[in-house]
Amino acid sequence: MNATMPKAAMVLAAGLGKRMRPLTDTLPKPLVPVAGRTLIDRVLDRMDEAGIERVVVNLHHFRSTLEAHLRQRARPRLDLKPEAELLETGGGVKNALDTLGPDAFFVANADVLWLDGKRSALERLGAAWDNATMDALLLLQRTTTALGYEGGGDYFCDPLGRLRRRRGSEISPYIFAGIQILHPRIFAEAPAGAFSLNRLYDKAQEEGRLWGLVHDGRWFHVGTPEGLAETEAELGVVPVSPSIRPR
């Protein structure tokens, strides 16, 4: 493991997954199976392969179901962080800072699905992290290669890797791929309660401390049942009716 590779991570798994209904009427979105393996297990598998030692997972929607599933895993070491009320992405991570420790750490959405290129995306992020100049390093995906994504993108990226959020009707070439490295100092002036990480990204951008790294592999937007079917088709899986999909 290189010197800059974070040893801790958080997986954001508390959301309601409304756009994935009816599948999420009976289970949390992180437990939706894609090609025979749940979304969250795919993320945790990648983290284990990258040598991440401990992972915090926040829980809310169908908490007991997700908790029972996660307790069957031996690796990586998991710290489960229930939320009585949804804290959104920023509030969820801030609530876990005491467990994550004083150094930079990974954060990944539980419903992101990616295939690595020649090298692990997590290892590439770790190698690119510069503690002196960065508060946030986001993995980016080109909008033209993001399967299932339809939108105007999220960010522009200069030749050095600094990011600027798109404004108004602009069309930007990159979307945030749901995987990142954050340093705890980005939360220094964060509000209490629920808030989005976007609030912290914008502040980091203003200070020149928001950076990006373009993913060199495949990335899938698994946001709806239709997106799930499209992803499985790309992965070579015979379509299965959602009503009989295994849980």
pLDDT score, position 5 = 86
Q: pTM for the full model?
A: 0.90
Count of domains observed in the chain: 1
pLDDT score, position 43 = 93
Identify whether 2 is part of a domain: no
pLDDT category, 204, cuts 50, 70, 90?
Answer: very high
Per-residue pLDDT tens digits for 140-185: 999 888 877 778 898 999 999 999 999 988 899 999 999 999 999 9
pLDDT score, position 61 = 80
Identify whether 211 is part of a domain: yes
Identify whether 246 is part of a domain: no
- Confidence check: pLDDT of 245 > 70: no
Which residue would you say has higher pLDDT here, 132 or 223? 132
pLDDT score, position 3 = 61
- Confidence check: pLDDT of 82 > 80: yes
The token pair that represents 152 in the structure block: 């105007």
Q: What's the CATH number where 100 sits?
A: 3.90.550.10
Domain that holds residue 151: 8-238
Q: Beta strand pairing status for 218-220 and 113-115?
A: antiparallel
Per-residue pLDDT, averaged over 95-105, amounts to 95
The token pair that represents 41 in the structure block: 């297990």
Identify whether 33 is part of a domain: yes
Identify whether 228 is part of a domain: yes
pLDDT score, position 104 = 96
Identify whether 231 is part of a domain: yes
Identify whether 219 is part of a domain: yes
pLDDT score, position 74 = 84
What integer best gives the mean pLDDT of the chain?
88
Identify whether 244 is part of a domain: no
- Confidence check: pLDDT of 52 > 60: yes
Whole-number Cα distances in Å, 135 to 101, 116, 124, 180: 15, 24, 17, 11
- Confidence check: pLDDT of 241 > 70: no
